[in-house]
Amino acid sequence: MMGSMLDGHRIGALILTGGSGSRFGGDLPKQFLFLCGKRVYLHTLEVFEKIGLFDEIVLVCHPEWLDIVCQEAPSARIISGGATRQESAYLGLQGFAKQPEIVCIHDAVRPFVSPRILQENVEQALRHGAVDTCIPSADTLVYAPQGKTIASIPKREEFLRGQTPQTFRYPLIWHAHQKALTDQVHATDDCSLVLRQGHPIHVVAGSEENIKITTTRDLLLAEALLEIHSTL
């Protein structure tokens, strides 16, 4: 699937599997739940491996699951995650055996990321330096600062919903994380750290199927999507 544009460039993938899964409920983090007989994070890893685009894949793992993940995902480089997503991403950036030119950062709980999305992320990151995967909002958006009354209703077409992957030239995201650490800035999104540096973020079209599994309902939807894909 790699085109000539990507030849000669070292491409790395950083898959974040360090979350506690608190929004899902239960004792088992959502990335380690079984989806049609295979853990969620392994479905995600499989997409990254099959595309043949990445020279190295780093899995940032929940510390309590290191031994199991090392056994289940021997092809990836496994490192222990931090207390927050931002800390885990920063640790992951340090985890590559050889520094990549481009790094693609993805949530392990988005197992339906498509090869097209991954390919376009890397290509556009080479062109623009920073990329976010986004989709339009089908719903009307409202601005309610206190959560109880609506202050305004913005134009829906001017707003997008962010997904992952988010993909960057390595020096750009590395320095953005270092600056956030120095400034004691905490964010749940890598693109926001790059925006702090005044660097624009290019948009790549995502997909409604690129869902993030955060609830039991999401897991049921993921099972249905896998069944649909298996019949195509």
Q: What domains sit in the chain, N to C, each tagged with a CATH number?
A: 7-231 (3.90.550.10)
Task: Give DSSP secondary structure letters for 104-128.
Answer: EEEETT-TT--HHHHHHHHHHHHHH
Separation between Cα atoms, residue 103 and residue 122, nearest integer Å: 8
The C-alpha atoms of residue 129 and residue 136 are separated, in whole angstroms, by 22
Q: Render pLDDT for 92-134 as a digit per residue (tens, 0 to 9).
A: 999 999 999 999 999 999 999 999 999 999 999 999 999 999 9
pLDDT at 22: 46
98: tokens are 């050889």
Tens digit of pLDDT for each residue in 38-69?
A: 999 999 999 999 999 999 999 999 889 999 99
Percent pLDDT > 90 in the chain is 86
Cα(193)–Cα(190) distance, integer angstroms: 5
Structure confidence at residue 18 as a pLDDT band (50, 70, 90): confident
